[in-house]
Homo-oligomer: A and B are copies of this chain.
Amino acid sequence: MSNVNENRRRRSKRSRGSTSAEKLVLEQLPWKQLQHSGGFTEVATEEQLEMIHNASMQILEEVGIDVLNDEARRIMIDAGARLDSKSGTKVFFDRGLIMECIATVPKEFTLHARNPAHSIKIGDSFINFGSVGSAPNTNSLDGGRRPGNQEDYQNFLRLTQHFNIIHFCAGYPVEPVDIHPSVRHLHCLADCVRFMDKPFHAYSLGKQRNVDALEIARIGRGISHTQLEQETSLFTVINSSSPLRLDDPMLQGIIEMSSLNQAVVLTPFTLAGAMAPVTIAGALAQQNAEALAGIAFTQMLRAGAPAVYGGFTSNVDMKSGSPAFGTPEYLRAAQISGQLARKYQLPFRSSNVNAANSMDAQSGYESTMALWGAISGGSNFIMHGAGWMEGGLSASFEKFVMDVDLLQMMAVYLEGVEVTEESLAVAVAAVKDVGPGGHFFGTQHTMDRYKNAFYAPLISDWRNFESWEEAGSPDALQKANHVYKQALEEYQQPQLDSAIDEELEEFVQRRVAEGGVATDF
């Protein structure tokens, strides 16, 4: 083993006073389409799931959903929903209609990336991790907390591309407020094509943004409009305005995306005690009503269009009203959401979320609790997988790489343990060789396997206290600061065909010249 040489190297570097600039070896796991092997935690009984289902159907039949877009209401009514004549906007859905509609959602679909090797399968037993999305602020150890800007935005794209464990970009990691909102989506999405070759997200903030996003995704992949419609190449997250409201821009997004066979991730923002009932069971019933209504609508637009069931139910701190994440209630809600999604045979989206303000122990345990919920809940699509802090109010560069470490651990966990007659026979032979009182460090069995036997972390520091102290007592935050900067240095921009690059540039320039989109809503 190389520990002696490595320690020597490390020490000699330190003695030259170059600790902080010391080059780390950032080994990472290869890109892989990860899969669950079952073993999901079934919290609710079949009977209890049915109760939640029935409560949600009762909400859809008797309370209804506020649908704030004329075209959407018309389509729903044509499909068999009933308009509430009093409000003129509320729509009631019978359970038969809902169940008939969601039956056509594909159990699994492919979200195509411009690099076919990075296309991902969503649904069934597949599991995919995304970057953080939609944070208004950036946070980093040396830069502090600041409003999102284009430079930080692009650096997050670089990290998303660089780390194999991140399968997709989950929206703008930070909102670059230094780009005018009318043209922001054009520059940002062109960056998604240029800085990455992985799948990405379009915000549903009015039809034109979706239209532009679809064109950029199409140009990026170098395909025809027909092929785009055959191959899902873009996704959007639709948050219902809980309780029970689908607002106009979101509905425009569903119409545009589903009609063209693109993916819609329907995620109600059901914080128990605030926008949903104060009980987890009640909040889940409301989540289920909102998610299924939105997903049913995707199928009214185009039967077979890909859609994902989003579970985001958490609780608020009842003293302050602050949202809480990674709590035991959140974990249970994620597990039951997974059960509901499986009941309906829908792909399931969850998240890696926490409410900590700094990358301290809280950020570590809340994130791990959230991932526990996502993994044991059988999630197929994990938003905010890396970098989310403060309940989504900031994206942290250090947290991004800490989460990369956590997600890689999840990947190793998902692989399970190799237990075969052969592997055990070889191990027993090693035990025989070593015998009582010996050790396994130098055995052939160990030498043959030690390099790849166990996950080697990016962030975790396993040195003994004395060596660690001698190195300046770096905590995980400081280590992560070092790691993310080096990852940015090591980042390589993926190749892009020059014809595509030109077409993209031409499109963006033309649309910018046209003024982008209206920003008056």
List the interface of chain A (C-beta within 8 A of B): 1-3, 6-7, 39, 41-44, 48, 51-52, 54-55, 58-59, 62-66, 90, 145, 241, 243-245, 272-283, 285-286, 315-324, 327-329, 331-333, 336, 355-369, 372, 376, 390-391, 393-394, 402, 406, 409-410, 412-413, 416-421, 423-428, 430-432, 434-441, 445-446, 449-451, 453-457, 459-465, 468-469, 473, 475-477, 480
Contact = CB atoms under 8 A, between A and B. Distances in A.
Contacts of A65: 436
Contact of A428 (B58, B272, B428): B58
Contacts of A413: 328, 331-332
A421 B277 CA distance: 15
Given A318-B454, A449-B278, A365 B273 contact: no
A384 to B, nearest CB: 16
A511 to B, nearest CB: 34
21 contacts: A1-B318, A1-B321, A6-B319, A43-B417, A62-B432, A63-B435, A63-B436, A243-B440, A281-B418, A282-B431, A285-B428, A285-B431, A320-B463, A327-B457, A355-B462, A361-B475, A362-B460, A362-B475, A365-B406, A390-B465, A391-B462
Nearest 8 A-B pairs (CB), nearest first?
Answer: A282-B427, A364-B364, A66-B436, A361-B364, A368-B368, A360-B475, A244-B436, A364-B365
A428 B59 contact: yes
Contact of A420 (B51, B275, B363, B423): B51
A219 to B, nearest CB: 38
B327 A436 contact: no
A455 B327 contact: yes
B362 A365 contact: no
Tallying the copies of this chain within the complex gives 2
B412 A454 contact: no
B41 A376 contact: yes
Contacts of A423: 279, 281-282
A469 B6 CA distance: 40
